[in-house]
Amino acid sequence: MPAHLRDRHVVVVGGGSGIGHAVAHACLELGAEVTIASTSADRVAAAAARLGHRARPATVDVTDEDDVRRFFDGLAPVDHLVTTAGDWGGQRSQTLADLDLEAGRAMFDVRFWGALALAKHGADRITADGSITLTNGMIGANPRKGSLVSTAVAGSIEHVARALSIEVSPVRVNVVCPGVTSTGGWETLAPEDREARRGAIARTHLIPRPAEPDEVVQAYLYLMLGGYTTGQVIRVEGGSTLGG
Ligand SMILES: NC(=O)c1ccc[n+]([C@@H]2O[C@H](COP(=O)([O-])OP(=O)(O)OC[C@H]3O[C@@H](n4cnc5c(N)ncnc54)[C@H](OP(=O)(O)O)[C@@H]3O)[C@@H](O)[C@H]2O)c1
């Protein structure tokens, strides 16, 4: 397995913040040329400026298929495509009794349909020894009351990645499944909510704290560099499935 990404072109959709930004930073450290993209031109431009001259900003809205097609038309050939795109709007916690089906459908737009649109229009731009890495979350494996739709979205990403790995072979397709990770979203919680969540993690995880983005990044790097892994999910979850 090569220990570098020298002169490879890595595209990180969602790379303007959080886990995606940390992935972009690590790829640059390993010698890659990196394109980071999201819906906000200002946010990706600021993020690219922080990352340095080998990071290029681009805009794409993964919920708009025409925009995804335009995005890839404007890109140099891609070696590795990563998506961490995720939105946080809407009523994310809904029990069966309150379930709003329209809002539930919309929760698939960015993470599931967006990932499929990226694969559909990006796959033939990816070099044969390249890869696609999708992102889901541990709510797929650890459902709780009110997580009906979030659990379904996360599970659907895992399943579609297995099917995609057949469609686009020999390009590899895998999924990183992070547990709670201290990105910007975590920092915006009210201090008392953050403490309550920290307490719950301490009680239920074998590693009693949230992940740092750099710890999650290691999984993305393995999936880009490890050329014999496809159709797989790597869970970076601090022992949450064993601890509670
Ligand atoms: N952090 C955690 O605890 C955690 C745990 C489990 C799973 N995850 C998953 O990991 C992924 C990344 O999480 P994060 O914490 O790094 O979140 P984040 O910082 O909010 O990053 C999400 C990125 O997605 C972009 N985005 C949103 N809608 C988009 C669209 N329609 N098209 C293109 N880009 C879009 C956002 O940029 P713009 O707003 O500029 O478009 C943002 O840069 C998410 O899918 C999340 O569900 C996170």
Asked if residues 78 and 7 have their Cβ atoms less than 8 Å apart, the reply is: no
CA of 20 to the centre of ligand 1 (A): 8
CA of 6 to the centre of ligand 1 (A): 26
Calculate the average pLDDT of the chain.
Answer: 95
Q: Provide the pLDDT for residue 191.
A: 87
CA of 85 to the centre of ligand 1 (A): 4
Q: Could you give the residue ranges of the DSSP H alpha helices within 16-76?
A: 18-29, 41-51, 65-73
Domain ranges of the chain: 9-236
Which superfamily, per CATH, for 9-236? NAD(P)-binding Rossmann-like Domain (3.40.50.720)
Q: Per-residue pLDDT tens for 24-72?
A: 999 999 999 999 999 999 999 999 999 998 999 999 999 999 999 999 9
Alpha-carbon span 115 to 134, nearest angstrom: 7
Q: Could you give the residue ranges of the DSSP H alpha helices within 79-147?
A: 101-106, 114-122
Q: Which of 13, 38, 82, 109 to mutate to test the pocket of ligand 1 (most atoms within 8 A of CB)?
A: 38
CA of 157 to the centre of ligand 1 (A): 14
Q: Which of 42, 116, 181 to mutate to test the pocket of ligand 1 (most atoms within 8 A of CB)?
A: 181
Name the residue with the closest Cα to ligand 1, atom 11. 84
Of all atoms in ligand 1, which is nearest to the CA of residue 15? 43
Q: Provide the pLDDT for residue 147.
A: 94
CA of 171 to the centre of ligand 1 (A): 24
Q: Provide the pLDDT for residue 20.
A: 98
Asked if residues 109 and 156 have their Cβ atoms less than 8 Å apart, the reply is: no
Name the residue with the closest Cα to ligand 1, atom 16. 18
Cα distances (angstroms) measured from residue 220 to each of 34, 59, 108, 204:
14, 22, 22, 25
Sequential DSSP letters for 141-155: TS--TTBHHHHHHHH
Q: Per-residue pLDDT tens for 169-211?
A: 999 999 999 999 999 887 778 888 888 889 999 999 999 999 9
Tell me the mean pLDDT in the region 216-241: 97
Q: Provide the pLDDT for residue 93.
A: 86
* HEC profile of 190-224: CHHHHHHHHHHHHHHCCCCCCECHHHHHHHHHHHH
Tell me the two tokens of residue 136.
Answer: 């889901």
Tell me the two tokens of residue 227.
Answer: 């050329």
DSSP β-bridge partners for residue 38: 59
Q: Provide the pLDDT for residue 185.
A: 81
Q: Per-residue pLDDT tens for 81-106?
A: 999 999 987 777 889 999 999 999 99
Name the residue with the closest Cα to ligand 1, atom 5. 180
Which residue, 32, 30, 34, is CA-closest to 15?
A: 34
* Percentages of the chain per state (helix, strand, coil), in multiples of 5: 45, 20, 35
Q: To the nearest 10°, report the CA torsion of 160, 163, 165, 170.
A: -150
Residues whose beta carbon lies within 6 Å of some atom of ligand 1? 13-14, 16-20, 38-40, 43, 60-63, 84-87, 110-111, 114, 135, 137, 178, 180-181, 183-185
Alpha-carbon span 116 to 173, nearest angstrom: 12
Alpha-carbon span 200 to 15, nearest angstrom: 29
CA of 102 to the centre of ligand 1 (A): 21
CA of 26 to the centre of ligand 1 (A): 17
Q: Provide the pLDDT for residue 47.
A: 98
Which residue, 11, 58, 20, is CA-closest to 185?
A: 20
> Exposed, middle or buried by CB within 10 Å (0-12, 13-18, 19+), for 66?
exposed
DSSP β-bridge partners for residue 181: 211
Q: Per-residue pLDDT tens for 100-138?
A: 999 999 999 999 999 999 999 999 999 999 999 999 999
Q: Provide the pLDDT for residue 188.
A: 79
Q: Provide the pLDDT for residue 218.
A: 98
Q: Provide the pLDDT for residue 134.
A: 98
- For residue 159, give the amino acid letter: H
